[in-house]
Structure 1
Amino acid sequence: MRLRSSALARHPDLRDVSRGPAAAFGRSDAAAIEPAGGDIPLLAPGDPRVDPRIATAFAGRSDMATQVRDLRSALSSRWHADAPDVRRSVALVGADPAADVATVAANLAVASAQFGWRTLLVDGDLAAPAQHRLFRLPGDAGLSTLLLQRAPAELQPTAIERLSLLAAGPAPASPTELIERQPLLDALDGVLARQRLVLLSLPMRGQPPRFGAIDTILSGFDGALTVASRHRSALGALQRLVEMLEEGGVPLLGTVVV
């Protein structure tokens, strides 16, 4: 995985994006921002409560875990002057269906909770929910039932301290139309009071992939991280996503290439 902050439109090809440093948008020394003594709560390898792809959750060294913590460090550096009660919200948005947004978002959520932030991970993939499976939790209620006003938001604690999940819920008949109805933070307003960080996992779906109302969905968010597949995402898709975010007034915080 490689992490970049530059707007994709400025890169002549995808190879230039993937060759960048691990965290080009303000990488800081990860050791300097970990809890005192490096005492990060980690699960034993093989713990059945979390999928093995969530490398940040487990003891042992992992390139992905290191790079995700670098990303978390860059975000915390941006917000180091925040008061303790300030809430931040970041969307991880896929450039196309090939981008593994779910795994990146889950790892970043775990790293953020380990840092001490009370974190809410929201699965915005209403067409193909994934987060409840990664955290081995029920998926029979969640964002879709909330948006359809069939049930209040049901936050589920995960095996990771300070990390809660709002699953996607059952797939609705028209997933894109449902999530585009209103700003997501407005829909979640009643459950955000105690959260320090809200992370939205928002893969692109459909052929061609589309989120025509991304400015509505992400209204009020502090920014977005775009996610692309190094070998499968087309540069054109990345450029279109960056343009949509810029036109919608959503700050681009960086790009993750996996």
Structure 2
Amino acid sequence: MALKKKKLTSKDASRKLVTAIDPKSPISEHYRTIRTNIQYSSIDQEIRAIMVTSSGPAEGKSTTAANLAVTFAQLGKKVLLVDADLRKPTVHHTFGVNNLFGFTTVLTKQRALEKTVLETGEQDLYILTSGPIPPNPAELLSSKSMEQFIEDAKAEFEYIIFDTPPLLAVADPQILANQCDGSILVVYSEKTEIEPAKKAKELLANAQSKLLGVVLNHKEAKSGDYYYYYGAK
């Protein structure tokens, strides 16, 4: 597969990419802990397509997805970060690229995957922006094209990280959860309420998704660390 190359520098990346800009920081270390926990969860079952979601908006799922993708790439693994939030996409903003073509143009067979994926300034990390926002995101994600996309992506990349919409907002993440090897639920410290978080977990279970764990985001500690990982029970 010949990928379209667009070299990015750290100046192009958003400050949200702490794992790329400041890999020695305590926050970056916590993201690496999340990565390690995912690797341990794949001992009995191969975990390569991973969905990152949250119960509600503005809880940090996009930041978590992007930084998690960076940490896997830093292992020398070929990683594809896919913006599967087809309602409020952010990956193109994070990496400073246009969103003319992307995930939706690949799913609708208007453009081949190898011509749409972009290389980033982080070695082994590639991105696929959302592309034009479609009128029918849920139908697009449940199509045969989606099944083919995952098959094609796995043939080229070792890990595929999907950034999806919040679980309680739309049906999209439940549809995608059933097609991924595992899911990560992001909750925001002192903001995410218990009942919505429980409901989100139930929706993932109903979709027969393997919940790899829950990321507690923005939990401030005396040491100045902000991110912790808790394995799902």
TM-score (norm 1): 0.72
Match status 1:254 vs 2:213: yes
SS of the residue 1:50 aligns to: coil
SS of the residue 1:192 aligns to: helix
Match status 1:156 vs 2:118: yes
Distance across 2 between alignment mates of 1:87 and 1:98:
26
Distance across 1 between alignment mates of 2:190 and 2:178:
31
TM-superposed deviation, 1:172: 1.8
How many residue pairs get aligned? The number is 207
SS of the residue 1:240 aligns to: helix
TM-superposed deviation, 1:121: 0.7
Mapping of residues 103-118 of structure 1, within 5 Å: 103-118=63-78
Alignment-derived partner of residue 225 in structure 2: none
Match status 1:63 vs 2:30: no
SS of the residue 1:193 aligns to: helix
SS of the residue 2:100 aligns to: coil
Alignment-derived partner of residue 193 in structure 2: 234
- Equivalent of 1:49 in 7, 12, 15: 12
TM-superposed deviation, 1:158: 0.8
Deviations along 1:22-55, one digit per CA (max 9) or x if unpaired, are xxxxxxxxxxxxxxxxxxxxxxxx9313212110
Match status 1:166 vs 2:128: yes
Equivalent position amino acid for 1:69 in 2: R
Distance across 2 between alignment mates of 1:195 and 1:127:
25
Match status 1:126 vs 2:89: no
Change in Cα spacing, 1:88 to 1:183, as seen in structure 2 (3 Å) is: farther
Alignment-derived partner of residue 38 in structure 1: none
Mapping of residues 1-258 of structure 1, within 5 Å: 47-59=10-22, 61-79=24-42, 88-153=48-113, 154-181=116-143, 184-204=146-166, 209-211=169-171, 214=174, 216-258=175-217
TM-superposed deviation, 1:213: 7.1
Equivalent position amino acid for 1:78 in 2: S
SS of the residue 1:160 aligns to: coil
Bigger Cα Rg: 1
Deviations along 1:181-230, one digit per CA (max 9) or x if unpaired, are 4584433433431211111111217xx6132771x423342210011222
TM-superposed deviation, 1:67: 0.7
Bigger shift: residues 87-96 or 245-254: 87-96
TM-superposed deviation, 1:177: 4.1
Could you tell me which runs of 5 or more consecutive residues in structure 1 were left unpaired when the two chains were aligned. Answer: 1-45
Instruction: Kindly indicate whether the alpha-carbon contact (under 8 Å) linking 2:31 and 2:67 is maintained by their aligned counterparts in 1.
Output: yes
Distance across 1 between alignment mates of 2:108 and 2:145:
14
SS of the residue 1:256 aligns to: strand
